[in-house]
Amino acid sequence: MVFSPDHMEAARRFIVSGLVQGVGFRYWALKRAQERELVGYVRNLNDGRVEIVAEGSRESLEAMRDDLQVGSGTSKVGHVEESVLEPSGRYTSFTIER
């Protein structure tokens, strides 16, 4: 899916800690973000956490935050840190960064 940057009204950075690496969490987050029509990326951090940067509607970002707090069936989320960002308009899809 490719989305127009003009429709991105809000942006968030989520840092998810817990058992979130090596359990398919990034692929689960990718699917959730695409279902919510968000653009941005998800990636593993060197310290065992996962970073998600997402742009889209406020409603979709709130729903994504709720998804992240629950996590996938194979993960165990300990904490979700959320930061408000300005939409950059640079993303046209949601991807997994390596």
Domains assigned to the chain: 6-86 (3.30.70.100)
46 has catalytic annotation: no
Model pLDDT, residue 27: 98
Active site residue 44: yes
pLDDT score, position 98: 87
Which among 13, 43, 44, 65 is annotated as catalytic? 44
Catalytic residue among 26, 32, 90, 98: 26
Please state the rounded mean pLDDT for residues 67-88.
Answer: 96
What is the per-residue DSSP string for 39-91?
A: EEEEEE-TTS-EEEEEEE-HHHHHHHHHHHHH--TT-EEEEEEEEEE------
Tell me the whole-structure pTM to 2 decimals: 0.91
Is residue 80 very low, low, confident or very high in pLDDT (cuts 50, 70, 90)? very high
Q: What is the mean pLDDT of the segment spanning 9-27?
A: 97
